[in-house]
Structure 1
Amino acid sequence: MTTSKALPTAVALFTLGVAAIVAMFVAGADGLPAWVFAAGWLLAPAGLAVGVFSAVRGSRRR
């Protein structure tokens, strides 16, 4: 089985999104700029979606 080129991108997006979410919990709502909240709301789901798409596309028959 070969790895898709989109999988490292998906892992990076998801990791950045989760890191932003953890930063939100650690710093609280008042200590962070708005882009951190946007990153948490957008990057983690985007990384998950790219990862699922990559897995489904890689598992299809040729």
Structure 2
Amino acid sequence: MSTSKLMPLGVALFTLGVAAIVAMFIAGEQGLPAWVFAAGWLLAPAGLALGVFSAVRNSRRRV
């Protein structure tokens, strides 16, 4: 996968993770399925790491 496709994927994963975290705060601890908690814990950091990786890789000088 090229780095130009990695950044939008990272942004999408991060957005989904943050949306899950916001849903946790709105709904409280009760009433949410376990996958919402898993999404909040896993997608946001994974999306952030993928976005940083893509930005660093795109900024490297081509030789």
Q: Same fold (TM over 0.5)?
A: yes
Q: Which residue of 1 aligns with 2:23?
A: 23
Aligned pair count reads 60
Task: Spell out, residue by residue over 1:16-36, the C-alpha distance to the aligned partner (whole angstroms, 9 max, x if none).
Answer: 000000000000101101000
Instruction: Tell me how far apart the structure 2 counterparts of residues 28 and 45 of structure 1 sit (CA, whole Å).
Output: 21
How do 1:1-62 and structure 2 match up within 5 A? 4-62=4-62
Q: Name segments (4+ residues, structure 1) moved above 6 Å.
A: none
| Percent of pairs with identical residues | 85
**How high is the TM-score relative to the length of structure 1?**
0.93
Query: Partner amino acid for 1:31?
Result: G
Aligned-residue offset at 1:13:
0.1
**How high is the TM-score relative to the length of structure 2?**
0.92
Instruction: Say what the alpha-carbon RMSD is for the aligned residues.
Output: 1.0
Where structure 2 has 5 or more consecutive residues not aligned to the other structure, the ranges are none
Aligned-residue offset at 1:5:
1.2
